[in-house]
C-alpha cells in the first residue's frame, strides 16, 4: 500500500540520527525526498546526511540566531503550499535544539505541523539507563556560569523522579563535582556516544564517577541522569554495560 503524499502547506519535524545512520526511519527518508525544501540547523551537516541517502533537496539554514527571522520565510512558503522538512544536526527538532519558534509561528498562522518521530538522545538514554522512567524531569542544558548552575541544581532537589540533563565533554568533570555537592547520595548514570561505536553507560555515585572522569578522557556528548532520592541501585562505575555499535563517519 502506497503511503499518502505529503500534505501541502505542512511543516514536518523530521528526527535525524544522533550517531548511527541506520536509525533513520523510512518515513523520515520519504519526507526528505518528497518535501519542497529542507530547513536545517547546519546546512553542511544536513547536506552530508542527504548525500549519504542520495537525496537532493534545496537547503535553507534555520539555527538559533536566525530562527525568528527565518520563521517568517518558512511561514510564507507554507502559505504558498510548499512542504518543509525541519531538521537539526541530530535528534528531534525542538528538544534542546532549534525548532520551537518555527513551530510556534506556524501554529499561530493556522498552519499544519506534523511530527516525524525518530532518534532522540533523551529517550535512548532513559530506556537503557536503568533508572526509573515512570516519572522523569528533562532539564536540557544547564547554565554555563557556576553560580547559576549550582542554583539550578539546588532548585531541582525536591523534584520527584529521574532528572535528565544534556552536557558537553568539556564540562562533565565540573558537573560531577557540583553533583557531588548537591546530590552526593544519588545514583548517577552517564550515557555518552549514544548509538555510536564507543557507546557507554557509566553508573555510580557522583564522587565515584568524578574519580573515573579524572583518570580517563571521557569524550562525546553526554546525557546525565540522576536517580530519585529513594533509588537504591548502586552498580560500580566500572560496570560498563555498553555495546559496540555499527556507526558511520
Question: What pLDDT is attached to residue 237?
Answer: 52
Question: What pLDDT is attached to residue 66?
Answer: 86
Q: How far apart are CA 170 and CA 83, in angstroms?
A: 38
Residue 96 CA to its chain's centroid (Å)? 6
Q: Mean pLDDT of all residues in the chain?
A: 92
Q: Average pLDDT of 126-150?
A: 95
Residue 212: phi and psi, rounded to 5, are -65, -40
**Rg from Cα positions in the chain:** 20
For residue 235, pLDDT beyond 90: no
Q: Average pLDDT of 82-110?
A: 95
Q: How far apart are CA 52 and CA 150, in angstroms?
A: 42
Confidence of residue 11 (pLDDT cuts 50, 70, 90): very high
Residue 175: phi and psi, rounded to 5, are -65, -40
CATH of 121-226, one of 2.60.40.1220, 3.30.950.10, 3.40.50.9100, 3.10.450.230: 3.30.950.10
Structural domain spans, the chain: 10-116, 121-226
CATH of 10-116, one of 2.60.40.1180, 3.40.50.720, 3.40.640.10, 3.40.1010.10: 3.40.1010.10
Q: Average pLDDT of 37-61?
A: 97
Residue 56 CA to its chain's centroid (Å)? 25
Amino acid at each position: 500500500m502506497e503511503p499518502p503524499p505529503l500534505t501541502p502547506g505542512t511543516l514536518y519535524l523530521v528526527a535525524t540520527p544522533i550517531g548511527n545512520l541506520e536509525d533513520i526511519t523510512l518515513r523520515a527518508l520519504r519526507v526528505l525526498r518528497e518535501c519542497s525544501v529542507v530547513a536545517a540547523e547546519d546546512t553542511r551537516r544536513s547536506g552530508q546526511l542527504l548525500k549519504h541517502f542520495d537525496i537532493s533537496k534545496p537547503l535553507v539554514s534555520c539555527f538559533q540566531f536566525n530562527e525568528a527571522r527565518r520563521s517568517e520565510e518558512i511561514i510564507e512558503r507554507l502559505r504558498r503550499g510548499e512542504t518543509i522538512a525541519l531538521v537539526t544536526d541530530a535528534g528531534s527538532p525542538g528538544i534542546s535544539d532549534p525548532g520551537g519558534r518555527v513551530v510556534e509561528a506556524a501554529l499561530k498562522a493556522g498552519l499544519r505541523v506534523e511530527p516525524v518521530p525518530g532518534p532522540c538522545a533523551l529517550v535512548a538514554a532513559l530506556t537503557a539507563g536503568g533508572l526509573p522512567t515512570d516519572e522523569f524531569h528533562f532539564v536540557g542544558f544547564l547554565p554555563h556560569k557556576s553560580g547559576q548552575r549550582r542554583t539550578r541544581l539546588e532548585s531541582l532537589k525536591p523534584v520527584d523522579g529521574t532528572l535528565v540533563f544534556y552536557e558537553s565533554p568539556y564540562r562533565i568533570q565540573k558537573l560531577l563535582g557540583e553533583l557531588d555537592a548537591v546530590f552526593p547520595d544519588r545514583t548517577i548514570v552517564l550515557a555518552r556516544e549514544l548509538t555510536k561505536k564507543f557507546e557507554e553507560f557509566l553508573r555510580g555515585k557522583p564522587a565515584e564517577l568524578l574519580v573515573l572522569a579524572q583518570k580517563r578522557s571521557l569524550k562525546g556528548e553526554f546525557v546525565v541522569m540522576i536517580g530519585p532520592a529513594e533509588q537504591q541501585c548502586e552498580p560500580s562505575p566500572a560496570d560498563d554495560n555498553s555495546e559496540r555499535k555499527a556507526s558511520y563517519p
